[in-house]
A and B are shown apart, each in its own frame.
Chain A
């Protein structure tokens, strides 16, 4: 072939990933582990993965995030990482005195076929006083950060639940990957129902704490281990998020092992999905929704009416994790914003179907893409003429290229302050998102207008 570049066919399906819209599996697992009281994550592989993942989490949460590594050498990469894991466990235990160590594997340890389960049982034999050891298999070549997150939850529940546990809390609420403010909102909602509950994971404090008076080796907060142990005794499990394989779904596990009824729900973003969440809570607890939330709902409806003229008929691009995108699309549909392009980075067989089912009022999106990347989105966006971009900081360049506003949601947000505490969930979350979206659109309109009116 000569010096000419080859031409790609129109609609060429790219083999390479160009500006990724997904992160890697151990990252998700580490955040889930961070949501358990006294738990330190440990990444089994080369130190670089742990460093990158810490760096990434820290720039979003703006908190210290300690993640240990078993620190492979070239020799361990060839002969296995058993010794490294055992040294790492010794050192982590000595320094942090954790009650749980959450071990997440990497592409490297999985490629060489390290048998971590076996290493753990051997380690426990020589260290009888070892902390609880949880293993989440998280090779990134077969799953994204979201798979890693759910995998860690499943591993926690499977390893820790104890059939002999004394009576536990009434409700298990297992949450998909949401913000720290979302977790605080879930606490507020659950406690208002007056029943005891276990919220797993709970990094609302451990990844978004206050300033310290004294040094904290292990950040405070997290789901208490005793509560996880007793999750098999609950009366119901609510699992928020559906993009999880059945065999890796902690709620499904509890249903199978302990006969606990499972409510599998979308993330409660917007009125419709939040209604379903409250219905599930009412049914599971037998208590009615407290009036506080009814008022919040009514305030939200009032806001929808006030702001309708600003958002109705607009077009948005939405991207990110499958569960986030699905719930977001449902919310946008109820406020009259259409979503001609919705995208998620990880491959998913269910994404299209879910999105179609969630668009109840407007037109179904023209482009519903899974296993995609930002460059693909940018290429398609040209023909769509969107007016708004909704998603994490990585998509900022879409907004920049298209000269339209960007509302930052989900993860990661590292170009705004407060990215870790964006409220998405519940009626109050919807209200917050609604204000943000309307204001972004109003600002764009105001800036484009010659008049400079301050009433728009």
Chain B
């Protein structure tokens, strides 16, 4: 087949895509479509990211509201969420992300299947919706008496002059036992979900974390930031870390609850899974409370093993390290059996991943474990640091679209700031090559000359399929059927196609099997009818014979 992937075709591909664009767009996209030319120092080229999608171009991206309500706060079960706006936004974000949760008991609060909206009508658009919002909060209190209520603003709210923060304060004074806070996450802010992540981080930091100094019981307490329990990922991670003897205090926000959030600052370590959506919180918690953080990854069995060991080594306890190693050995033995079998069939096949702000990176690990090569990848809403590594952060220019997202100034808490490790210990860690506050980005982990595309659009996806014919494509539901219609298997990495978990050891096994099923499915071979593949047959099916 002429379209088979061959290394070196990336340049032609890029040229062909750009050729069709008008000059301004061409210039912009040429900086967002990058051939990963890694230089001798291991430095990757610069990519243009986190800039507004050109109107009329079909993007994968959603809005700030989606990032704030759907992504960051959606997976937590006992903060009652009220969408302040017209009905659509709230309806569309109702249970669509398929994060899972396990309430402590049958009767414990779980508001995730519940979508409350102020359903603004014309009258409120004209005269303001604050009154209706207050009434909705009254109703929420009467119905559930929740510990906390979050208010999420949609596009019209900012424009009709509603002040959700003032309403939150007023209602909190009315119900002092309930923590009520608002998010200015109107959809037009920023350029994608990413703006909403930042808005969410800020509010959770100022209004939630730090309210209760009672730690959870247990040794070696840490948090995981940026894990959202899609398809039960968090359950698998919880299983594994518990087996190692670690105490997971709180996850932001997969399978989480409010009490874990308010006391999250009592831990000794923050680990970060999805850097894009939550690095702000990690940084602010470090400055205010002195909690060190580092990047981990539980997607991929090897990556999981490495991350677990790193956490154990941070705590430095001999028994903990030994137990962790034992768990890894046990789990890896099971993983290896399936991996070897699947790898024998999948080795050499190719994948392309366009999704999210960290998954396009993390999932390359899983593909590599079964011998599959990622020939193209890109994020939907990441920033340059997620591609090139945090070291480029000082050189990132914030454009007008993102300037409206507040940057908080944080200082050390006079009472509660506590250095977790002594300077000497930190020095030693660094000597041992132990990276804190670091994320090296996706591009450094990809092959030299691989194709990297930020904010891939529909047209480019079609071209990519036509030219590179990857054996599988990972993206979201909006891309799913475009890909499958063309006879290429597609795996959704937002919802996992309602499967999973894919994290940790058992997740890796699930993923290997799933990819094996997809790339070897016979059904895609049926896309061409017999008379299409062999013309001589057409007479036999013969209405034109």
B459 at the A/B interface (Cβ < 8 Å)?
Answer: yes
- The docked-state distance in angstroms from the alpha carbon of A52 to that of B61 is 10
Contact between chains at A16 and B119 (CB < 8 Å)? yes
For A16, A67, A71, the residue with the greatest tally of chain B CB atoms inside 10 Å of its CB is A16
- Which residues, 31 to 88 on B, are CB-close (under 8 Å) to A? 52-66, 82, 85-88
Which residues of chain B are near A19, meaning CB under 8 Å? Answer: 94, 114-115
Using CB atoms, name the residue of chain B closest to A14: B139
Contact between chains at A55 and B92 (CB < 8 Å)? yes
Which residues of chain A are near B135, meaning CB under 8 Å? Answer: 15-16
Which residues of chain B are near A107, meaning CB under 8 Å? Answer: 85-86, 88, 120, 125, 154-156
Contact string against B for A residues 101-139, beta-carbon threshold 8 Å, 1 for contact and 0 otherwise: 000001110011000000000000000000000000001
Contact between chains at A64 and B481 (CB < 8 Å)? yes
B91 at the A/B interface (Cβ < 8 Å)?
Answer: yes
Contact string against B for A residues 251-292, beta-carbon threshold 8 Å, 1 for contact and 0 otherwise: 000000000000000000000000000000000000000000
Contact between chains at A48 and B119 (CB < 8 Å)? no
With contacts A73-B52, A77-B188, A108-B188 taken as known, whether A58 is within 8 angstroms of B478 at the C-beta atoms is yes
Which residues of chain A are near B469, meaning CB under 8 Å? Answer: none
With contacts A22-B87, A73-B401, A75-B400 taken as known, whether A64 is within 8 angstroms of B482 at the C-beta atoms is yes
Contact between chains at A141 and B118 (CB < 8 Å)? no
Using CB atoms, name the residue of chain A closest to B494: A55
Contact string against B for A residues 53-96, beta-carbon threshold 8 Å, 1 for contact and 0 otherwise: 11110110011101111111111111000001101111110110
Contact between chains at A48 and B87 (CB < 8 Å)? no
The segment out of A208-216, A314-322, A359-367, A430-438 that lies at the interface is A208-216
Which residues of chain B are near A51, meaning CB under 8 Å? Answer: 59-63, 66, 478
Which residues of chain A are near B113, meaning CB under 8 Å? Answer: 397
Which residues of chain B are near A87, meaning CB under 8 Å? Answer: 54-56
A8 at the A/B interface (Cβ < 8 Å)?
Answer: yes
Contact between chains at A56 and B159 (CB < 8 Å)? no
- The docked-state distance in angstroms from the alpha carbon of A8 to that of B145 is 12
Contact between chains at B466 and A215 (CB < 8 Å)? yes
Which residues of chain B are near A47, meaning CB under 8 Å? Answer: 53, 59, 61-63, 187
- The docked-state distance in angstroms from the alpha carbon of A84 to that of B65 is 21
Total contacting residues, chain B, CB less than 8 A: 86
A446 at the A/B interface (Cβ < 8 Å)?
Answer: no
- The docked-state distance in angstroms from the alpha carbon of A360 to that of B154 is 44
- The docked-state distance in angstroms from the alpha carbon of A51 to that of B478 is 8
Contact between chains at B93 and A52 (CB < 8 Å)? yes
B148 at the A/B interface (Cβ < 8 Å)?
Answer: no
- The docked-state distance in angstroms from the alpha carbon of A78 to that of B527 is 48
With contacts A62-B481, A68-B56, A213-B532 taken as known, whether A49 is within 8 angstroms of B139 at the C-beta atoms is no
A204 at the A/B interface (Cβ < 8 Å)?
Answer: no
Contact between chains at B188 and A74 (CB < 8 Å)? yes
With contacts A8-B139, A55-B92, A111-B125 taken as known, whether A141 is within 8 angstroms of B187 at the C-beta atoms is no
Which residues of chain B are near A23, meaning CB under 8 Å? Answer: 87-88, 91-92
B122 at the A/B interface (Cβ < 8 Å)?
Answer: yes
Total contacting residues, chain A, CB less than 8 A: 80
Using CB atoms, name the residue of chain B closest to A211: B527
- Which residues, 1 to 47 on A, are CB-close (under 8 Å) to B? 1, 3, 5-8, 12, 14-20, 22-27, 42, 45-47
Which residues of chain B are near A76, meaning CB under 8 Å? Answer: 188
Using CB atoms, name the residue of chain A closest to B121: A141
In the assembled complex, the CB of A320 is this many whole angstroms from the nearest CB of chain B, namely: 14
Which residues of chain A are near B53, meaning CB under 8 Å? Answer: 47, 71
A172 at the A/B interface (Cβ < 8 Å)?
Answer: no
- Which residues, 394 to 420 on A, are CB-close (under 8 Å) to B? 394, 397
18 other A-B residue contacts (CB within 8 Å) besides A88-B56, A107-B155, A108-B156: A1-B174, A1-B175, A8-B142, A16-B135, A16-B136, A17-B117, A23-B88, A64-B478, A68-B58, A70-B56, A74-B188, A78-B159, A87-B56, A92-B56, A107-B85, A111-B155, A209-B485, A397-B113
Residue pairs across A and B with Cβ atoms less than 8 A apart, 21 shown, are: A16-B82, A16-B116, A16-B118, A16-B135, A20-B94, A24-B89, A47-B63, A48-B66, A49-B155, A52-B92, A55-B476, A64-B481, A66-B458, A70-B56, A73-B52, A107-B86, A107-B154, A139-B86, A140-B87, A141-B124, A397-B113
Interface residues of B (CB under 8 A from A): 22, 25, 52-66, 82, 85-94, 96, 113-122, 124-125, 132, 135-136, 138-143, 145, 154-156, 158-160, 174-177, 186-189, 400-401, 404, 458-459, 462, 465-466, 476-478, 480-482, 485-487, 526-528, 532
